[in-house]
Amino acid sequence: MDRLSPQRTSLSDAYSALADEAEATAEARLPEPQGAAEMRDLLPAIEPDRRLDDWGRSERVEGAMDRTLYEFFYRYWFRAEVEGVENVPAEGGALLVSNHSGALPPDAAMIAKAIREEHSSPRPLYLTVEHFFKGYPGFSMLIPKIGGVAAHPANVHRLLYDERQLVLVFPEGRKGTEKLYKDRYRLRRFGRGGFVEAAIRAEAKLVPLCVVGAEEAAPIFAQVPALKRLTGLIYFPLTPTFPWLGPLGMLGYLPAKFKIRFLEPIDTAELGGADAVHDKALVQTVSQEIRARIQENLHEMVAARRSVWFG
Amino acid sequence: MSGAELVRSEPSRRVLVTGLSTYWGGRLAQALEGFEQIEAIIGVDSREPTLELERTEYVKVSNRHSLLQRIVRAAEIDTVIDTRMVVNSLTASPRFAHENNVIGTMNILAACTGQDSPVRKFIFKSSTQYYGSEQDDPAFFTERMRRPHPPRTMIERDVVEAEDAVAEFADKHPAVSVTLLRCANVLGPDVETGFTRMLALPLVPMAFGFDPRLQFIHEDDVVHALEHAALHRLPGTFNVAADGVLALSEAISLVGRRALPLLPPVGAGLLAAPLRRLGFRVPDEMASLLRFGRGVDNRLFKATGFRYGYTSRETLIRLGEHMRLEPILRTRAGEDGYHYEREVEEFLRWSPHVRRERGGDGVAADREPLGI
């Protein structure tokens, strides 16, 4: 302790800067966000030897699923028919907005498969999934590996804005998958339009799309709230196969004919740039418009359909 | 503001390192000794330093405010680097951890205050445990995010409280550049953390049905990050984590171990006792990490010009190499390993051949009494 001296010199230059720093206010504690291009360059480089990406997505697991289960359902079971796939942009971030249904919804996987099969430049699709999956053992492991990410605004923003990927959202959320067979093809509320905000903030295109067939493939006849509480699941539906065949009954889809229609994209850049995020009225209007367009097209597609099973 | 404007090269000259005897304090002091621009390094701790130090002054003092403040003033410290944070609940009792993490931080901050305080830079090593690990977390925490739920474990509570104290200090002292570094889970051959212990087991336990995403950082990169903060003016909060978020199963296979999905997904508390008998204890703050994981956005710190030496993957590969070599090295250490000899160091420290004289105003460490 006796080695320190109170008399120090040569520090005046170090202190002269003190005055300049008075302007450094508390605000300055959080560094300003950098330019988009600059920050994109700083994204971690892809390590070719890795089997997973930073989201936990595994090409190997996804590829295996794609070649077996998805292939079977897409080609032979649901015999999916796709129109307007060219509305999905070949590059840049885009947010796909779809109607949603089914106890364990098959729609997301079929949309991803449709883009992979039919698009001129196939791109991976990230599916937003409610974060409940992270609490279920098994699901928590599998869902990220096949391209699912938790539906958190920050995740959607990073995917769309920084990584410029395709992201699929179901704005109806759980309200869509909970709905009963008698309410089929009636869109639920689109929440507070968070998905529109996300797209505007990320300057990404919005691509509405309709799926017909999923409602009949996995119809829900009733919900049993008592069993839901007992099992701790997010809902407890009665379907043709669940719970009668156990948990695997969730996969017991009926062979309804699938039709997927991608609609004209909406360019959020034309809505007035990033400032439009704060315009709640605009966000709501866009959200309503997308909902109306999906509903309209669903009605049209259902009206044109002669048979649930053969299209 | 562009990256270039954000970063000003502004080396510290007279540095106080807290927690000199901890791993990080020692490593940092060693690293800073190599920089000519830094004329004095003073380390404080209540225990003797454990690492070999050349020109660092050691002052034996606890985190008591009055003494620290006098040292800071007497030695005209312009930069205080606080590295003492305890982030593993197994290495310290909850009471000591709280005392050290919260009360200690407050005392050190108090030592930097005062009208004529010479301190112009405060660097605080924190942890990404600030963000916690919950089901509804984003996949990548950015520095602007707060944790979605209140902290659940003692250590996390400490981290949040300590950071709040630092933030308050930064608000009240705009003239002091406060850098807060939130480090991810550290791995490396020398450091001992919950994860290095876990990965050293022949069968690495995992929570059944979960494969969390985790991000790591190499111990050397932590030291370099602290060093980078000391050499530049970087006001703000930064995540310090290597590139790449790995799944736990991926991490385990990279170090060449086997995973054992054995921990029950819920109610791990019941298994805690038998596991402890087997020599494996899961620290509270790791329990939720083993289910939900955590990833952070590390770009802001990279934007200040910092480059990581290792990615998360490389960190694990190095650790694996070290773990395979360790049994061989361990036997050799007994024969000709380094022994710390205090007397020799004392002698060398004051030997004119070792002292680094600076030109002009005699900047090297003085020996005059401090008067306290």
- Looking at residue B215, its amino acid is Q
Task: Tell me the chain B residues in contact with residue A9 when contact means C-beta distances shorter than 8 Å.
Answer: 361
Chain A contact for B298, CB < 8 A?
A: yes
CB contact residues (below 8 A), chain B span 302-361, against chain A = 302-304, 311, 313, 360-361
Residue of B nearest to A51 (CA): B250
What phi and psi values does residue B17 have, to the nearest 5 degrees? -105, 120
One-letter amino acid for residue A302 of the chain: V
Query: Taking CB atoms and an 8 Å limit, are B171 and A137 in contact across chains?
Result: no
Contact B213 A55 (CB under 8 A): yes
Instruction: Give how far B330 is from chain A: nearest CA, Å.
Output: 32
A11, B135: Cβ pair inside 8 Å? Answer: no
| C-alpha distances out from residue A89 to A96, A115, A206, B86, B345, Å | 10, 11, 10, 49, 67
Partners of residue B294 in chain A, C-beta under 8 Å: none
Q: So what's the pLDDT on residue A291?
A: 94
Q: Which pLDDT value is given to residue A24?
A: 35
Average pLDDT, chain B: 84
Per-residue pLDDT tens digits for B154-210: 899 999 999 999 999 999 999 999 999 999 999 999 888 889 988 988 888 888 889
Give residue-wise pLDDT tens across range A181-240: 888 888 888 888 889 999 999 999 999 999 999 888 888 888 888 888 887 777 788 887
Q: B276 vs B305, which has greater pLDDT?
A: B305
pLDDT of the residue at B288: 85
| Chain B residues within 8 A of A43 when measuring between CB atoms | 299
Nearest to B175 among A21, A42, A152 (CB): A21
Helix (H) or strand (E) holding A267: strand A266-267
* Cβ–Cβ below 8 Å for B235 and A31: yes
Q: Do B361 and A135 touch (CB under 8 A)?
A: no
Which residues of A fall within a CB distance of 8 Å from B58? none
CA distance to partner chain B, nearest, from residue A10 (Å) = 7
- Band (pLDDT 50/70/90 cuts) for residue A67 is very high
What is the model's pLDDT at position B201?
A: 86
Q: Do B1 and A47 touch (CB under 8 A)?
A: no
- Under an 8 A CB cutoff, do A134 and B135 touch? yes
Nearest CA in chain A to B235: A29
How many Å separate Cα B151 from the centre of its chain?
20
Q: Would the ipTM clear 0.90, i.e. be above it?
A: no
**Taking CB atoms and an 8 Å limit, are A15 and B250 in contact across chains?**
no
pTM of the model: 0.83
Q: At what angle do helices A194-201 and A280-304 cross, to 10 degrees?
A: 110
Alpha-carbon span B35 to A269, nearest angstrom: 50
Nearest residue, CB atoms, A1 vs list B174, B207, B372? B372
B230, B16 contact by CB (below 8 A)? no
Give the closest of A10, A18, A152 to B138, CB-based: A152
Beta-carbon separation of B139 and A158 below 8 A: yes
CB pairs under 8 A between A and B: 194
Q: Which of B302, B308, B312 to mutate to test the interface with A (most CBs of A within 10 A)?
A: B302
Which one of B9, B134, B368 would you mutate to disrupt binding with A, by most A Cβ within 10 Å of its Cβ? B368
Answer yes or no: do A54 and B368 touch at CB < 8 A.
Answer: no
Q: What is the pLDDT of residue B18?
A: 92
Predicted pLDDT at B361: 44
Contact B175 A35 (CB under 8 A): no
Cβ–Cβ of A51/B250 closer than 8 Å?
Answer: yes
Contacts of B146 in chain A (CB under 8 A): none
DSSP string, B247-310: EHHHHHHHTT-EEEEEE-SS-HHHHHHHHHHTT----HHHHTHHHH---B--HHHHHTT---S-
Cα torsion for B365, B368, B371, B372, to the nearest 10°?
A: 40
Which chain B residue lies closest to A26 (C-alpha atoms)?
B171
State pLDDT tens for residues B57-103. Answer: 999 887 677 888 999 999 999 999 999 888 888 888 888 899 889 99
pLDDT for A10 equals 29
pLDDT value of position B197: 87
Chain B residue with the nearest C-alpha to that of A138: B209
Which residues are CB-contacts of B372 (< 8 A; sequence separation ≥ 6)? A1, B67, B70, B71, B74
Spatial separation of the C-alpha atoms in residues B316 and B268, rounded to whole Å:
26
Q: Do A28 and B235 touch (CB under 8 A)?
A: yes
B243 vs A34, A45, A150: nearest CB: A45
Does the pLDDT value for residue B319 go beyond 70? yes
Q: What digits encode the pLDDT tens for the residues A7-17?
A: 332 233 332 23
Q: Measure B323 CA to nearest chain A CA, in Å.
A: 21
Lowest mean pLDDT among B110-119, B215-224, B310-319: B110-119
Least-confidence region, from A77-86, B147-156, B307-316 = B147-156
The CA–CA distances, whole Å, from A172 to A211, A237, A294 equal: 13, 17, 12
Q: Is the dihedral of CA B267, B270, B273, B278 positive or negative?
A: negative
Tens of pLDDT along B100-114?
A: 899 999 999 999 998
Asked whether residue B141 carries a pLDDT value surpassing 90, the answer given is yes
Residue with tokens 């562009």: B2
Chain B from 148 to 207: CB within 8 A of any A CB:
167, 170-171, 174-175, 177-178, 207
